[in-house]
Amino acid sequence: MTEQLDEFQAAMANKRPTFLTVLCILTFIVSGFMTLAGIFGIGTAIFMDQTGMDDTIMQMEDSMNEMPMDEMPSWFEGLFESSLELAQIEIANALSLAVIGFIAALLSLLGGVMMYNQKKKGYYLYIGSKVLGVLGPLIILVSSGVGFMLLSISIFWPLFWAVVFIVLYGMNLKHMR
């Protein structure tokens, strides 16, 4: 009887909490999607020649010119022009950004799998993937001369969600070995 009780207690000690399972599943979904997006982005960047990039930028400029800017506040026009500038820089650096995103997504996925299996190393791998996923594009954008306002807009949401999930996973570290 005590042997069965010991086995039951050992099994319960190794049981993955539901919240950790939900976090891992969310990570699988998002990281899987981002991995596919990274593959698509790399393929697009490799096969898009300079003419294709120029055409994309011209289409964006045409769309901007078609908007009735005289009816909009002046700050909106500045924001719109800055967004166009950011898009141009992102298109010019598309391959680097796609490769960084792909590697970060794969590391995040691997970290999620490890945490699903309750391995603490997965948590640290996950943190590394988020640091790479935020700092990599940040370095590229800063070196391209993007202003602080645009930088904060393009980095805010990825940084926010990275911190939220790092904290949530950190709350579950006690269940990992």
Residue 162 located in a structural domain: yes
Tell me whether residue 55 is in a domain. yes
Task: Let me know: does 15 contact 172? Beta carbons within 8 Å.
Answer: no
- For 91-140, the pLDDT digits (tens) are 888 999 999 999 999 999 999 999 999 999 999 999 999 999 999 998 98
Q: Is residue 114 part of a domain?
A: no
Q: For residue 58, is it within any domain?
A: yes
CA 67/CA 34 separation, integer angstroms: 32
**Overall number of domains in the chain:** 2
The answer to whether position 34 is within a domain reads yes
Residue 155 structural domain: 120-177
pLDDT of residue 57: 73
Q: Is residue 111 part of a domain?
A: no
In a domain, 125, yes or no: yes
Amino acid identity, position 42: I
Return the top range by mean pLDDT from 7-16, 60-69, 70-79, 89-98. 89-98
The mean of the pLDDT values for the chain is 85
108 with 27: CB under 8 angstroms? yes
Residue 116 is encoded by which pair of tokens? 């699903």
pLDDT of residue 175 exceeding 80, the answer is yes
